Structure 1
Amino acid sequence: MSGLVSSLTVTAIGLASKALLSLGYCRSVTVNGFHHLVDALHREERNNGRGVITMCNHISTLDDPVVWGILPTQYYWNTRTTRWVLGASDIIFTNPVFSTFFRNGQVLETFRGKGIFQPAVDRAIEKLDKGDWVHLFGEGKVNQPAKLAPREGEQVIPVSQHHANLLRFKWGVGRIIMEAKKPPLILPMWITGFDELMPEGRKFPFKFLPRRGVDLSITFGAPIQHDEMKSALTSSQISKLSPDHTVFSDAVEHESSVKTEQGWLGGTHVDARSPLEVERIRSLVTAIVQRRVEALGKEVAERTLKM
């Protein structure tokens, strides 16, 4: 019964998001590279436990789920073609009704300040090991860009269309990737315009109402090749990195190092058995993914400026 309720919830949310994107509320919705996501979701290797990760900038409270209004309608009914996402407990799990709704909407309750060794991160890894799709906002919070001062007669232009410098990604990103048993398919994403759809700083009740007539864009990049990531994980590079400076017990870090050694990174020339080495690897893996997301953002900005 719970599976049916979850499917109905995800489908209702998906259709509502599709309606917002498709029925003239937005002035335009541009999607680029969507074939990368479709290809990843339909790969046969998912049936053998290779999960999918989408990694995106986070510029409004509506990014998820509205962005998934671009999916074909038939995707909403199947948990294999809908994402699991981490959601902040203090923002969306604030009462029993909301908690039930978001759990049925495939949101993993995440507690800010409790670090990377918490149940939501564990569950994200478990989902990947089943071949599921996990969506991550690496910054861990909304980072709504400021606006560039317009020239006379011009409209205000979001900085996000010019610069793609994100807040440092959370190290939980590295842990999720590293401890997966098989290398997940990691797709960078970049979105623009959602900060105009739901801008911060508006007064009640307007802060809960999306703006009409905005231009949205959603871009998917090619998957990050796991061989590319492995080749970057050389002992010489890792030795130059500072560890995460996380404050976890030796037992927790040892368990993480064991899982890393047993996962897809195990057996490389990197010593994943050392807790300190695992911290350094986690930092590098997270940084590699962030650079790819930022690189995609810069590509989108350059394309926008040429239009």
Structure 2
Amino acid sequence: MSGTMKWAARKDHLKGIPRKVVIAVIGSFAKTVTSLINTTSVHNADTLLHLVRSRPHGVPLITVSNHMSTLDDPLMWGFKGFPIFDTDIARWVLTAEDICFRNSLYSYIFRVGKCIPITRGGGIYQEHMNEALERLNDGEWLHTFPEGKVYQEDAPIRRLKWGTASLIVRAPITPIVLPIIHHGFHEVMPEKFIFGRRPPLPLCNKKINIIIGDPIEFDLPAMSQMAIAKSRNGSFPTIGWPRTSNGLDEAAQRYLYTTVSEQIQAAMERLRCYGKSFLKS
């Protein structure tokens, strides 16, 4: 179903009016929840604002964060000073197909709102991962939740899925990768609130903290050469992935995606630990 609505994600769909309406409504909702009925503090917001507004032309941006509620996106962009109503610089985001694209109405709204459906368990070469690559090729901003699901426990960052790493590696221009850690959205939208279900509306009077890190540096040429060398000496199960544009076979890809994911996970965990000490001080 979602594939048939790729047209709704186009910038020129109905002259862009549906996108402006949806993003204005969702932006107003995010601003209300994050900045009015709850209290939000943001550390290092200028780094995110600069990269969203004025990174080098044509260079894509990938932001990665932990995932504590079904409303992390868009609520995490609702803090004061963030240009959430600007449709041109608004993020694209990878979203779970089984949650956000359950029917035609949902599919249309999320597509217009710059969401890309991802099938859980569909692998890194599923159709819409190529769509995400197209957005990166256009120099756009993409947000991902590399843990792959909602975790409401205040615990170390889990092992990351390979999807984000594969996009970083396969993008023609290496994206700027910015880690973000947040805390508090699990209290705004708890998974088990009434009879084991989420509340019908976001809760209020909660404290939200957003910690924005610094861009993660990847030396992909060197990492790719290391992946080729290491994969020759190891035993990796294969399922028939195509070679990448720079010639990496499946074994080398698996090694490289693991290495990139571990680097992102480590950066996110450092940020999480910093955030905990920052909030205690």
TM range (shorter): 0.7 to 0.9
User: Is the aligned partner of 1:78 residue 2:87?
Assistant: yes
Residues 73 and 278 (structure 1), Cα distance of their counterparts in 2 relative to 1, 3 Å cut: closer
Q: Any gaps of 5 or more consecutive residues in structure 2?
A: 1-13
Moved more, 185-194 or 33-42: 33-42
1:290 is matched with 265
Compute the TM-score of the two structures, normalised by the length of structure 1: 0.79
Q: Any gaps of 5 or more consecutive residues in structure 1?
A: 146-159, 262-271
Compute the TM-score of the two structures, normalised by the length of structure 2: 0.86
Cα deviation, residue 135, structure 1: 0.2
User: Is the aligned partner of 1:195 residue 2:204?
Assistant: no
1:103 is matched with 111
User: Is the aligned partner of 1:40 residue 2:15?
Assistant: no
Residues 206 and 188 (structure 1), Cα distance of their counterparts in 2 relative to 1, 3 Å cut: closer
- Partners of 1:75 and 1:194 in 2: how far apart? 18
User: Is the aligned partner of 1:273 residue 2:248?
Assistant: yes
User: Is the aligned partner of 1:141 residue 2:133?
Assistant: no
Runs of 4 or more above 6 Å deviation: 240-244
After superposition, residues 240-251 of structure 1 pair within 5 angstroms as 245=237, 248-249=239-240
Pick aligned residue for 2:208 from 208, 213, 216: 216
- Partners of 1:231 and 1:174 in 2: how far apart? 15
Residues 74 and 218 (structure 1), Cα distance of their counterparts in 2 relative to 1, 3 Å cut: closer
Residues 6 and 288 (structure 1), Cα distance of their counterparts in 2 relative to 1, 3 Å cut: same
- Partners of 1:139 and 1:242 in 2: how far apart? 26
User: Is the aligned partner of 1:4 residue 2:17?
Assistant: yes
After superposition, residues 93-172 of structure 1 pair within 5 angstroms as 93-145=101-153, 160=154, 163=155, 165-172=156-163
1:45-73 Cα offsets, whole Å, 9 max, x none, are 2x2x2100100000011101111112646
1:216-259 Cα offsets, whole Å, 9 max, x none, are 011110111234x65555628972897775x532xx422xx22x
Q: Classify the secondary structure of the residue corresponding to 1:191.
A: strand
Bigger-Rg structure (1/2): 1
| Root mean square deviation of aligned Cα | 2.4
- Partners of 1:10 and 1:191 in 2: how far apart? 22
- Partners of 2:260 and 2:161 in 1: how far apart? 11
2:11 is matched with none
Alpha-carbon contact 2:223-2:256 (below 8 Å) kept: no
Moved more, 235-244 or 292-301: 235-244
User: Is the aligned partner of 1:253 residue 2:253?
Assistant: no
Q: Classify the secondary structure of the residue corresponding to 1:39.
A: helix
- Partners of 1:4 and 1:92 in 2: how far apart? 21
Alpha-carbon contact 1:233-1:284 (below 8 Å) kept: no
